[in-house]
Amino acid sequence: MAFNGHYYAIKNPYLLLPLQLKKVPIYCRITVNSTPKKFATGLYVQANNWDTVKQKAKGRNEEVQFINFKLDCLTKQIKDCERKLIDTLGT
């Protein structure tokens, strides 16, 4: 079973306010056996505070630390589900 996941922020260039001032939603995409599924994490980040390479919010303020903590918790939950699937299916 091939299992992969990553986070990304949707940045819409057609918004009325400057993009740097807008908060954008953070999504998670999980791919299992070449089938992708996308869902909203319920988290938002300022567009200029999203690191696309590290897939985390950048900065050191309390809000950024909270967002990264929640993403780390979500990653752990996803990995736990992956382990349970592998144990159940035996592959």
> Can you spell out the DSSP letters for 25-51?
EEEEEEEETTEEEEEEEEEEEEGGGEE
CA R_g for the chain = 15
Q: Decide if pLDDT at 60 tops 60.
A: yes
**65/48: higher pLDDT:** 65
d(CA 3, CA 42): 22
Strand partners, 32: 3, 35
The confidence score (pLDDT) of residue 12 equals: 60
Contact 18, 11 (CB under 8 A): no
Report pLDDT digits (tens) over 7-50: 777 666 555 455 556 788 899 999 888 888 999 999 999 888 98
Mean pLDDT for all residues in the chain: 83
Does the pTM surpass 0.75? The reply is: yes
